[in-house]
Amino acid sequence: MAVTDRTRTTPPPLARPAARPRDTAARTAGLGVLLALTATVVWSGSFVATRGMADTVPPVQAVFWRWIIAAAAVAPFAARQAWRQRHLIRRHLAYTALASFFGVALYNTLVHQAGLTTSAANMGMIMAASPVVMALYARAGGERLGPRRTLGLLTALAGVLLLVGDGSLSPRFGAGDLWMFGAALSFATYSALLRRKPAELGGLAFLLATFVLGALMLAPAYAVSLHLQGGFAPTPGTAGMLLYVGVMSSAVAFFAWNKAVTLIGAARAGVVYYLQPVCVAGLGLLLLGERTGPAELLCMALILGGVALGARR
């Protein structure tokens, strides 16, 4: 009796429907907003740490060690890519050095200098003004902001001004506040430069290069500070704050922010950055016992509403 094998035909797997461009854009935008929010929350804690170090660590020395720690934290993940792309880093050295100057050396030095004479809350609130400059840079570069984003930007800005001015749109600023405005301008310039990062230059390689270049730029000022002010005595509290600003506020937050700007642009990421004073107020309540009154809550509602408007397309 002959046995015949029946040839079984396996039906072809069902093809997955291709993602619609609108769905892909929405996911990309959502990831970009999430990364910008992550950086904003982490940076909020750095203002508290910076203020905590103001009386024990000279500003330039704090910034120098911040970037030494940041470079050491990033190196295990970025060194191989940086070595493979060393020719690209040399080719784009002028651009990388410029981004490092504004985003690493100058910005953080101004923040730590401001921490000597102004509160952590003011530092966070004034830094929230940087999205205005980011939007102006974006507009000058040909990016269309659109009515919704412009309205969100202005709404959040009004909330920041009212928060800084205790209910008045004409706030008075001290020396530390002015240092922070300089820091806000420097950070906005850095964020605008990120949009011009060469596409072939890897994100981790770029991050490590800017950290190392920033530390080298700060080295002469660090030597002068050691000669004039002397060093500082490390304590567990000081070491913990330096580790936080070096690992979390520098390595983690800068990676998240750089990726966010690549995905959604500096102007749109800048709107999320308006959440800075809200995050600082929350940390102040949790860590310092600072209470938030009805006026502050109203200002924060304006900021949150502006972010919700501006973060959408």
Task: Tell me which of 67 and 285 has the higher pLDDT.
Answer: 67
Under the banding of pLDDT at 50, 70 and 90, the label for residue 48 is confident
Residue with tokens 């004039």: 228
The answer on pLDDT for 313 being more than 80 is no
Region of 230 (left: φ > 0; alpha: ψ -120 to 50; beta: rest) is left
Q: What three-state secondary structure class fits 262?
A: helix
For the chain, the domains span 31-310
Residue with tokens 């740490």: 49
Q: Are 74 and 204 in contact (CB under 8 A)?
A: yes
Tell me the pTM: 0.75
The answer on pLDDT for 206 being more than 70 is yes
DSSP 57: S
Residue 264: the pLDDT is 83
Rounded to an integer, the average pLDDT of 151-180 is: 72
Question: What residue type is assigned to position 236 of the chain?
Answer: P
